[in-house]
Structure 1
């Protein structure tokens, strides 16, 4: 499995070097940005699992980096490193969406344990096997395609924005098919260090290169007769594309330093948020490899295009988060659902998961409120939904959008019962059905 990526934003060379060495020894990958400018440049393509940032930087501060990233790409678990004098600002940042802060000097063992806990909670296994793919009209063709794909061994290519649920979809294909009892091995192609990529994928024999003190099974071998999931396949370097193509053509591979070939028996699922066809035309992606992986193609819609799924996903994530924290349960206020429906979700399902997990962990009284979900302010989330402008669209457009959100929230609260939702909204069922038809709401 590809190691989780931590974006570390720290200008102190001594502390940064120490943190990077320790975190890499613990199995994490670290991308080190030494300034706010470097962090802003790294974030769009890095997709970190965690951001660890100093508050004070030579060309700005970590707060501005965090807010810019949250606005454009959604919530990411962020921990700030702060000196004693900055604690007040750190506390405010936690209220506004950061996960936590540590005061220098801090206990590195405890920080590593915290990172492991964050990564564990963010995995699809932690979400729960019952996580819904979605019941919206936009998701139904996707679910049908994935269910049919699960019954055959053909390669699947999943397309969609970052955080749209491509790995969850891949696991659905794996779990729904005859290989469900075999391994599911996810690999982030864009996050493999170039100097280690061959060894990570194919494995190596003892003495194959300097530092190879023992035999190592690669990810292709670990997949066995299960599923190999190559995420961000568009980021795979051309030399590795050639090697992967040969594996798919011959169904065999060779460990580094080995004489004999081993059979490759896994099912292949790939995913990307990039336009592979354009990359083929530009020479950045091999056409023959594209033909090999582009057999069953499925495009996942972004969360903003399927608002009917938000309430179900929130309930599923909240239930799993409550169980993880040892809570008896958690209820979701209708205002939280309305606020979620008004949000643009730039980080898609992954952002929704992060926000719900944080809200459940830090909320009070076993109830998830709009303020818990959006500690940075509900109004900010609504401005994001309209492209950052306070005024966008006619009064009629705004009224209809609000009415649609209110109907979806009522249906979510009543478990999809149109009778109860009509009573709650104080309209007739005929009126409700007509508005549902008009707004494209799937009952």
Structure 2
């Protein structure tokens, strides 16, 4: 019998033969297995006790996969979930993985494959987590990135400017088997168009005026590591065929050269642009888009992960206090509250810049809200503790309204009609507000 320190496996399966067989097999493998035939019985037990992994049928008599995952996601630190699905439900299973499930298996499945997935997931769950943030959205991003750390498929990171796409790319590098190899970052928007081909692929001596020596480009310098192409949407059309060859055939040729050079690095691309729209406009090659969009990962905006704000504040306060030789610097309660309520249109980059400015100009060892938000806190009032600044009422109303709508949507399982009824507004009004606050495109 294999020993797994009696890791606890929960099985949710309405077929008594399949459910009992799975429970018996897990017990034989050394796990402690519990089996429930209804989703509600399982949820009641999972809420009261800790399990290491849950194996769940996608269709049960009392709930479907989306409903079960929604309930499980409400509990902090929930166990990873593997869904079991019929072939016709594969599309639904993929949506569940994007919503936070760990993996899925299509029926009929091989028990050895299932055991392998369980062992792999439990091994990953033993690793430290929270490297990218403590919020659930970033935990989900980290879990997805950990699943694809050591494969060579191209990764496309998307998200608004400043959300931390390069941070995610560096996490993949540092946590993968390529950690000891180079990480070469290229901002495609920052390199002049007439130089981008030479910078990416290198050139031979005499390839053009002033090419006095051979030059190794970013692709060659990345070796067996990672080539990170930021702002990939800004890559000139003329260079895109050569990048397609690099990604597809794993070879390239230096400018002015004839010898084909091998390429062995993993490519990670990032963009804040709508590449599909650029394809339609003829500004980005469709074949290149499909080649780099093998594994798309969306990095959520900071306003969608408020639980990360305080940790980021503390990180950058400590970093810049040390850099500027300011000693220990603390944040007031007002500064933390104002930061949590701010919408952060510039995301993590804006937060970092605000902290850097606050530390650089600080005259005391305390950072207040007026230090972080001098542009939004020109109005001030007096409290028993002295003068404090306040965010303009219009800004505070927007933040509170967005938060209240999001909480209502979460509690109703993102049912628009039910949420509108609870809030006492029409479906049309609710939908307009969801679009205004960036909630309309949120994953359900």
Alignment correspondent of 1:366: 365
Give CA deviations for 1:43-73 in whole Å, capped at 9, x if unaligned. Answer: xxxxxxxxxxxxxxxxxxxxxxxxxxxxxxx
Alignment correspondent of 2:227: 228
Q: Output the TM-score relative to the length of structure 1.
A: 0.56
Alignment correspondent of 2:180: 181
Contact kept? 1:131, 1:316, Cα under 8 Å: no
Judging changes above 3 Å, is the alpha-carbon distance between structure 1 residues 312 and 393 closer, same or farther for their aligned structure 2 residues?
closer
Cα deviation for residue 284 of structure 1 reads 2.2
Greater RCO (CA < 8 Å, at least 6 residues apart): 1
The CA distance in 2 between the partners of 1:379 and 1:132, in whole Å, is: 36
Cα deviation for residue 320 of structure 1 reads 1.3
Cα deviation for residue 212 of structure 1 reads 1.1
Judging changes above 3 Å, is the alpha-carbon distance between structure 1 residues 398 and 226 closer, same or farther for their aligned structure 2 residues?
closer
Q: Does 1:260 align with 2:249?
A: no
Q: Does 1:286 align with 2:282?
A: no
Contact kept? 1:132, 1:316, Cα under 8 Å: no
Cα deviation for residue 400 of structure 1 reads 6.0
SS, match of residue 198 in structure 2: helix
The CA distance in 1 between the partners of 2:179 and 2:397, in whole Å, is: 47
Alignment correspondent of 1:148: 147
Alignment correspondent of 1:16: none
Q: Does 1:295 align with 2:312?
A: no
Q: How does 1:90-129 map to 2 (within 5 A)?
A: none
The CA distance in 2 between the partners of 1:141 and 1:295, in whole Å, is: 18
SS, match of residue 253 in structure 1: strand
The CA distance in 2 between the partners of 1:131 and 1:316, in whole Å, is: 14
Contact kept? 2:130, 2:139, Cα under 8 Å: no
Contact kept? 1:202, 1:255, Cα under 8 Å: yes
The CA distance in 2 between the partners of 1:393 and 1:267, in whole Å, is: 42
| Bigger-Rg structure (1/2) | 2
Cα deviation for residue 260 of structure 1 reads 1.4
The CA distance in 2 between the partners of 1:305 and 1:278, in whole Å, is: 24
Q: How does 1:363-442 map to 2 (within 5 A)?
A: 363-378=362-377, 382-383=391-392, 389=394, 392=397, 397=401
The CA distance in 2 between the partners of 1:329 and 1:391, in whole Å, is: 30
The CA distance in 2 between the partners of 1:159 and 1:390, in whole Å, is: 27
The CA distance in 2 between the partners of 1:223 and 1:399, in whole Å, is: 43
Q: How does 1:19-58 map to 2 (within 5 A)?
A: none
Q: Does 1:160 align with 2:159?
A: yes
Cα deviation for residue 181 of structure 1 reads 1.4
Alignment correspondent of 2:271: 272
Contact kept? 1:189, 1:232, Cα under 8 Å: yes
Alignment correspondent of 2:169: 170
Cα deviation for residue 334 of structure 1 reads 1.3
Q: How does 1:323-334 map to 2 (within 5 A)?
A: 323-334=322-333
Contact kept? 2:160, 2:272, Cα under 8 Å: yes
The CA distance in 2 between the partners of 1:314 and 1:268, in whole Å, is: 31
Contact kept? 1:339, 1:378, Cα under 8 Å: no
Gap runs ≥5 in structure 1: 1-129, 404-443
SS, match of residue 179 in structure 1: coil
Cα deviation for residue 392 of structure 1 reads 4.8
Cα deviation for residue 160 of structure 1 reads 0.2
Judging changes above 3 Å, is the alpha-carbon distance between structure 1 residues 213 and 281 closer, same or farther for their aligned structure 2 residues?
same
The CA distance in 2 between the partners of 1:186 and 1:171, in whole Å, is: 9
SS, match of residue 229 in structure 1: strand
Choose between structure 1 and 2: higher helix proportion. 1
Cα deviation for residue 382 of structure 1 reads 4.2
SS, match of residue 230 in structure 1: strand
SS, match of residue 262 in structure 1: strand
The CA distance in 2 between the partners of 1:398 and 1:263, in whole Å, is: 51
Provide the aligned C-alpha RMSD in A: 2.7
The CA distance in 1 between the partners of 2:148 and 2:254, in whole Å, is: 30
